[in-house]
Chains A and B, each alone.
Chain A
Amino acid sequence: MTSTVWLAGESALLPSRIQMAFTLASHVLLVPLGVALPTLTLLMEGIGIARNDPVALKIARRWSVVMAVQFAVGAVTGTILSFEFGILWPRMMGRFGAAIGLGFAIEGLAFFLEAIFIGIYLYGWERLPRRTHFLLGLVLPPAGLLGAFGVLSANSFMNTPGGVTLQAGRLVDVDVVAALFTRALGYEFWHFLIAIYMTAGFAVASVYAVAWLRGRRDHYQKLAFLVPFTVAAALTPVQLVVGDLSARALVGDQPAKFAAIELTWRTREQNPEVIGGLIDDAGDVRFGIAVPVLDSILVGYSPNAVVRGLTDFAANARPSTVEANIAHLAFDAMVGLGLAGAALAAWYFWVLLRRRRLPDSVWFYRLAALAGAGCYLAVEAGWVTTEVGRQPWIVYGLMRVSDAVTSAPASFVWTMLATLVAVYALIAYFFVTLLLRLAARWRREDEKSPTAPEEGAPYGPRPARFPELGS
């Protein structure tokens, strides 16, 4: 990106990229709880039914309220994204819509299922027989999975396009299966799916880690911490393996992205693994720690394995140094956070398996309280890595971001961006206020009577008559 674009305001490329990054980064924050919280909620409800435990049912019911509020906000931010494909990147959809759209069509179906069954699940508490309620809820996890599949299939197509026949730049034929299941999907799907389940688990557990630190140590706190934390902790080692496979697959699938992530300037043997640091336009890396030959070993299991560098690609077909630095630091942040999560999970299982109880160290709960936020950061960093690392391409090797962008004037997109930032700030404020208020109310209720059933939560079952008309 040159500074002239910014100043002259002729092309909408820069504001469009910022707007897309901003709205996507916001939406991604809602995805983990949106897709994975239903599973945790059902797990808790299942425990409640199987053990006839009213506390577990109460936890499940409270989680389902959070799930619904999340879903409502996510539905709005997701709809915005779909319009942005038209408003910001009309030419990408014009050329590749028939292929990229396939995943979104499947996602649309899943979105419908989720919206309907979240409605049924929420309003069915205490109204439907317990078992029926639970069974109807079972639609939600596979629907979330299907939705994630659709979106990741579309994103994978952008990373490793396949299944399309182009003639003079026009898409003339689509192999549906090949376009849906492109190479990147194999790792992107599992990597992201595990990431959101980990995030949901750690994020939910972190709330109850804070409760533990504040002195609440009852059955409610223990159960609500144990279930999500165990799920997340069990997935952490799996994620290390899947993440490693994903990075390795980039070597063949998107070598320029891999070079950016590793800050490799020239193709060479015995390539060091650079941790942290920034590369400049001459290819010199500053401030980083270079571990000799580690990158070559990681890529090819040999110190002499050849690793391709950024200069192997034409300057207009690889990330700029600024973009490479962003992708590199994001990647390092993601890996670092993942390793930290794995250490915490190891601590947890060590105590759980050796001593047959939950950890009781203050430091464990302090770290557990941070794990949720850490996961969200890692998810964001992962998306930054894959999206910025793909630059300058919107569809890798086939279409540049600058060829896909709208012809709207930059001032229009800047204005829209400013509006969206303002509205998103408001939404975030309402959202957080609502959740904090719910939490405070639940705490008050529990202090009064720990086993009383729920009443009148927003998005929860409605009171018999609406209050203003009540006698």
Chain B
Amino acid sequence: MNLIAFSLLLSVTAYSTAGGVDFGAGIWDLLAGTSARGREARALIDHAMAPVWEVNNVWLAFAIVLCWTGFPIFFQSTFLSLYPLFSLALIGLILRGAFFAFRHVADDPRSHRIADLVFGASSLLTPFFFAASLGAIASGRVGIAGPSQSVLAASFSPMSISFGLVSLAATAFSGASFLVGDARRYGAAELVGYFRRRAVAAALVLIVIGSMALLTIALQAAPLFRSMLAGPGLPFVLVTMILTPVVAVLHWRGIFRWYRVLTVAAVGSMVMAWGFAQSPYLLPGQLTIEQASAPPATQALLLIVAAALLLVIVPAMALLYYLDQRSALDVPEA
């Protein structure tokens, strides 16, 4: 795996973890219901997402730019084969952005309810269909310069659907896990318990769905399965398999240490496991990273951009998170 491919995988991982937390919050928003407790949960979700969700979304834009600049042929092949998946993910993305903003505008209860509903429902669409596209790529049904079968068969397969389901469970899991932290920050004791229970439940669901997905990979993409369990994917598979239950136990026992970092590590490792297991192929069995790579000069510029990202953006992002957390801590007790 060269540095550009690694940067691409990192961007996808960053989006899945950072963006995933936001999508997960949206899922819990959808499931919060109309009870008093549900309304409190929704208020917390609103509050936790507002400052950072746009920054998280930039990872997606960056991944796509790295993809078409660094691996143009791969980009073309993927979009020619999987445009239905990307279109659905995209529709989810706009609806979610629009209705998240609209929640702040709507003042009568009915339109507020509609805004909540669309916001929540679209939080299901995007993580499902983006992850499904990774599953479709892993299934080998994306051919060079077009689908090897029909577009529908390439887009909707056991692999793509199981990747999508894993993504939903993983975002729900990481969303709940982080909301525990937000509830603690704002001193909302009841909501800490509320989201702890949900984090544990989501972890269990994730373990079940994840195992079923592994089975699907074994049946549908044997070479990928081999390198996940006996190749470069293995360390990441192990990290996920160990950390997901560990985080569940931390929440179960109410131990509020390390759980957020470990959540990110657990979810991020799933993406890494897929990426490393599939390497050196971008399209399994058909197109390697080397074959798809842009000319060296382009790669050099991309490396400079990636380095700038590391040197400038990461510290700036740390500053934003720091200020965000500090401002919450600054609050005098009511």
A residues lining the B interface (CB < 8 Å): 69, 71-73, 75-80, 82-83, 85-87, 90-91, 93-102, 104-109, 111-113, 115-120, 123-124, 127-128, 139, 171-176, 406-408, 412, 416, 419-420, 423, 426-427, 430-431, 433-434, 437, 458-459, 461-462, 464-471
A470 to chain B, nearest CB (A): 6
Q: Are A462 and B69 in touch, CB under 8 angstroms?
A: no
Query: Given A98-B72, A108-B61, do A406 and B83 touch, yes or no (CB 8 Å)?
Result: yes
Q: Are B302 and A79 in touch, CB under 8 angstroms?
A: no
Q: Which of B73-81, B213-221, B251-259 sits within the interface? A: B73-81
A85 to chain B, nearest CB (A): 7
Q: Tell me the nearest residue of chain B to A438, going by C-beta.
A: B105
Instruction: Give A90 to B80 CA distance when docked, in angstroms.
Output: 7
B residues lining the A interface (CB < 8 Å): 39-40, 42-44, 46-47, 50-52, 54-55, 57-58, 60-62, 64-66, 68-73, 75-80, 83-84, 86-87, 90-91, 93-95, 97-98, 101-102, 104-105, 145-146, 151, 186, 188, 294-295, 297-298, 300-302, 305, 308-309, 312-313, 316-317, 319-320, 323-324, 327, 330-332, 334
Q: Are B46 and A109 in touch, CB under 8 angstroms?
A: no
Chain A facing B: main interface SS: helix
Chain B facing A: main interface SS: helix
A34 to chain B, nearest CB (A): 12
Q: Are B61 and A464 in touch, CB under 8 angstroms?
A: no
Chosen A-B contacts, 17 in total, with CB atoms closer than 8 Å, are: A69-B101, A79-B61, A86-B76, A86-B79, A86-B86, A87-B87, A90-B76, A90-B79, A94-B77, A101-B70, A105-B301, A112-B62, A127-B327, A176-B297, A406-B83, A433-B105, A467-B43
Q: Are A434 and B313 in touch, CB under 8 angstroms?
A: no
Residues in B whose Cβ lies below 8 Å from that of A175: 297
Residues in A whose Cβ lies below 8 Å from that of B73: 94
Instruction: Give A107 to B86 CA distance when docked, in angstroms.
Output: 22
Q: Are B60 and A116 in touch, CB under 8 angstroms?
A: no
B53 to chain A, nearest CB (A): 9
Residues in B whose Cβ lies below 8 Å from that of A109: 305, 308-309, 312-313
B226 to chain A, nearest CB (A): 31
Residues in B whose Cβ lies below 8 Å from that of A100: 68-69
Q: Are B101 and A466 in touch, CB under 8 angstroms?
A: no
Instruction: Give A462 to B48 CA distance when docked, in angstroms.
Output: 11
Q: Are A465 and B72 in touch, CB under 8 angstroms?
A: no
Residues in B whose Cβ lies below 8 Å from that of A430: 98, 101-102, 105
Residues in B whose Cβ lies below 8 Å from that of A111: 58, 61-62
Of listed B90, B300, B312, residue having the most chain A CB within 10 A: B90
Residues in B whose Cβ lies below 8 Å from that of A431: 101
Of listed B78, B97, B319, residue having the most chain A CB within 10 A: B97
Residues in A whose Cβ lies below 8 Å from that of B79: 86-87, 90, 93, 406
Residues in A whose Cβ lies below 8 Å from that of B64: 82-83, 86
Residues in A whose Cβ lies below 8 Å from that of B60: 79
Instruction: Give A429 to B68 CA distance when docked, in angstroms.
Output: 33
Considering the complex of A and B, which 5 residue pairs feature the smallest CB-CB distances, nearest first?
A: A101-B69, A94-B76, A97-B72, A86-B79, A98-B294
Q: Tell me the nearest residue of chain B to A150, going by C-beta.
A: B65
A457 to chain B, nearest CB (A): 9
Residues in A whose Cβ lies below 8 Å from that of B83: 86-87, 406, 408, 412
Instruction: Give A97 to B91 CA distance when docked, in angstroms.
Output: 24
Q: Tell me the nearest residue of chain A to B43, going by C-beta.
A: A468
Q: Tell me the nearest residue of chain A to B293, going by C-beta.
A: A98
Of listed A98, A100, A175, residue having the most chain B CB within 10 A: A98
Of listed B50, B151, B309, residue having the most chain A CB within 10 A: B50
Q: Tell me the nearest residue of chain A to B313, going by C-beta.
A: A112
B55 CB contact (under 8 Å) in A73, A105, A119, A465: A119
Q: Are B61 and A434 in touch, CB under 8 angstroms?
A: no
A120 CB contact (under 8 Å) in B69, B151, B320: B320
Instruction: Give A67 to B286 CA distance when docked, in angstroms.
Output: 46
Q: Are A434 and B72 in touch, CB under 8 angstroms?
A: no
Assuming A97-B69, A427-B94, what are 15 further A-B pairs, CB within 8 angstroms?
A: A71-B54, A83-B64, A86-B83, A101-B65, A101-B69, A109-B309, A119-B51, A119-B52, A120-B323, A174-B298, A430-B98, A464-B331, A466-B44, A466-B186, A470-B334
Query: Given A87-B79, A458-B105, do A172 and B58 touch, yes or no (CB 8 Å)?
Result: no
